Structure 1
Amino acid sequence: MEHVSVPPLSRIAVCGGTHGNEMSGVYMVREMQKQKVDIAGSVSVTTCLSNPAAVDACRRYIETDLNRCFTNALLSGPITDSTSLELRRAHELNALLGPKGSSEAMDLVCDIHNTTANMGLCLIFYSLDWITLHIFKYIQSKMTSAPVRAIQLDIPISEAYSLESVGKHGFAIEVGPQPHGVLRADIYNVVKEAVDLTLEWLQKLHSGTTFEGGKVEAFSLVRSIDYPRDPTTSEITAAIHPDLQDNDFELLQPGDPIFKSFSGETVKHEGEELYPFFVNECAYYEKKIAFHLAQKKTLTIPSISVKKD
């Protein structure tokens, strides 16, 4: 099998509070800031509370969703009097952790999120990146407290809109279910274990470990489904069906119920077999998304080690 040697990942960023009411990342970053985090092999770990104003207000954002502000176009645009607080902050974070696409960017950016959906632990990434896939494979092999899955968003990195895309490598940790504005110990512990295992993997990589390749499964986004709506008022006319609620990543087949209308009718899934995720995510109502649908892919990854000096 193919082998890949990678440069050392000497500058790591762990971020939380990109959405100010997703509490696991907020408290994880605050706890890490109290402690000096060292990894063998002269790795520096930067911790960052991404959107302090939204954290203080315990809101997802103040003016606009910070985690949609990191495309090349938005980061290269001018700052004016009308620029939102979050886009200003995106430029600051790009200067701190990037610049995106440059040789000065952080080697790895890990951004922590919570979802109200029953998704367990997910690592979300854009490109088919051997480093992030190996970290996912390692976490999946070690973690027993929650199911661990990978989600791939097939978007060019220039159009990638979320914070982790600022690093040379990056992924979002998404853990749920947890209500926004609430901290649950079990969910926090899953996040902590994932961060600890990421740092452990980096330490082993820099200590000379070769990680064997193999096959990993990833869920690749196909499309998003909106709620049924009144054609006149655009108000939703149905809720997620009880058979779908809390069943993220369970195969959805044609004819399976997906919505229950307020007048009692069942709306069924049409089209091919796909896997739902972010089912009934609270923050996606404003985005007109009831859930996403994905295909499951099997990816073959090479063995990996760090380049010797």
Structure 2
Amino acid sequence: MGSTFLPTVGRMAVCGGTHGNEMSGVYIVGEMERQRKVMGDGVWPIPVTTVLSNPRAVKECRRYIDTDMNRCFSSAILSSPITDSSPYEVRRAQDLNALLGPKGSAGAIDMICDLHNTTSNMGLTLIHYTTNDWVTLHICKYLQTKITQVPVRVVTMDVPISDAHSLETVSKHGFSIEVGPQPHGVIRADIYNFMKEGVDVTIDWIQKFNSGTVFEGGEVEVFMWHKSIDYPRDPETRELNAVIHPQLQDRDFCQLKKGDPLFLSFSGETVKYEEEESLYPFFINECAYYEKGIAFHLAKKIKLPIPTVQVQKD
């Protein structure tokens, strides 16, 4: 089979601080802006826009001011009228859509790399929303090949892009990079360096692709989101009845089998995994998900076929 020819990836945005207390992305964007001031736009082999996504939340070192901004980039919210009562993050999302999009348009920026931290033990995880974006999937495969100091995993949320609510869905291609474990409001050198390597390797792939390198097809291992699981709760007060079991804690992307421990109640009883299908948990005990009613997500592990790709000639 021959190559699939794809347009140049001409413009990229690196965004940090979409959640204002996830510090690695905040400092990577700051460092990239410092490098540009010192060395000029030629510091990278492709045009890179750097964006501090939620500056008010960053200033206050909070996840958000009014509402979670990484839930504000669906087409419906981006097209909603702004009123005096509109949340700050909805206003800011529409500003970012004007800057980097508009979402779904021919004029949207080619690639967004949105930088996030998690308190979960997820290593370096790439999250995106389609199963047939060959540019994004080839970059994911390249990152898995080039980065060896930390596990690199790919999560696919297979939903229509118009419904997808994350910042990276404004661009033609793109993904978020989740790196952890790191407490919110804290920056760790190892986690920062893993994320920085993820950004650098992504830029490296784009430069090679634009220069005519042929990237061979094959398969990419991905974790396909399946469903979310909440903590056991009191049916009346909604208070937690149990916490993540010690044998599950920190075992993101490890296979769950029937009978494995999930939760430990405050009275010492174990809640076990009862499903026949073996699935893979991730975002286990993520701090920011308590308010969302999520103890962890479950995914199926599959392999996606990808074609050989190269840049189309003008």
In the superposition, the TM-score normalised over structure 2's length comes to 0.96
What CA distance in whole angstroms lies between the structure 1 residues aligned with 2:2 and 2:97?
Answer: 34
The gaps in structure 1 that reach 5 residues or longer are none
Match 1:48 to one of 47, 51, 66: 51
What CA distance in whole angstroms lies between the structure 2 residues aligned with 1:147 and 1:2?
Answer: 31
Partner SS state of residue 35, structure 1: helix
Partner of 2:32: 32
Structure 1 segment 147-166 matched on structure 2, within 5 A: 147-166=151-170
Residue identity (%)? 65
In the superposition, the TM-score normalised over structure 1's length comes to 0.98
Letter in 1 for 2:31: E
Residue 238 of structure 1 pairs with residue 242 of structure 2: yes
Structure 1 segment 129-168 matched on structure 2, within 5 A: 129-168=133-172
1:26-75 CA distance string (max 9 Å, x none)? 000000011135444xx311000000000000000000000000000001
Match 2:182 to one of 174, 178, 181: 178
What CA distance in whole angstroms lies between the structure 2 residues aligned with 1:85 and 1:249?
Answer: 35
Letter in 2 for 1:30: G
Match 1:96 to one of 78, 95, 99: 99
Structure 1 segment 53-68 matched on structure 2, within 5 A: 53-68=56-71
Partner SS state of residue 192, structure 2: helix
Structure 1 segment 221-232 matched on structure 2, within 5 A: 221-232=225-236
Partner SS state of residue 27, structure 1: helix
Partner of 2:11: 11
Partner SS state of residue 92, structure 2: helix
Partner SS state of residue 97, structure 2: helix
**Two-structure CA RMSD over aligned residues (Å):** 0.8
Partner of 2:308: 303
Partner of 1:110: 113
Residue 83 of structure 1 pairs with residue 86 of structure 2: yes
Residue 192 of structure 1 pairs with residue 193 of structure 2: no
Structure 1 segment 122-133 matched on structure 2, within 5 A: 122-128=125-131, 129-133=133-137
Runs of 4+ more than 3 Å apart: 37-40
Per the TM alignment, residue 3 of structure 1 is displaced from its structure 2 partner at its CA by: 2.2
Partner SS state of residue 47, structure 2: strand
What CA distance in whole angstroms lies between the structure 2 residues aligned with 1:206 and 1:11?
Answer: 11
Letter in 1 for 2:187: L
Number of residue equivalences: 307
1:141-178 CA distance string (max 9 Å, x none)? 01111000000001100000000000011100000000
1:192-212 CA distance string (max 9 Å, x none)? 100000001011111110011
Residue 288 of structure 1 pairs with residue 293 of structure 2: yes
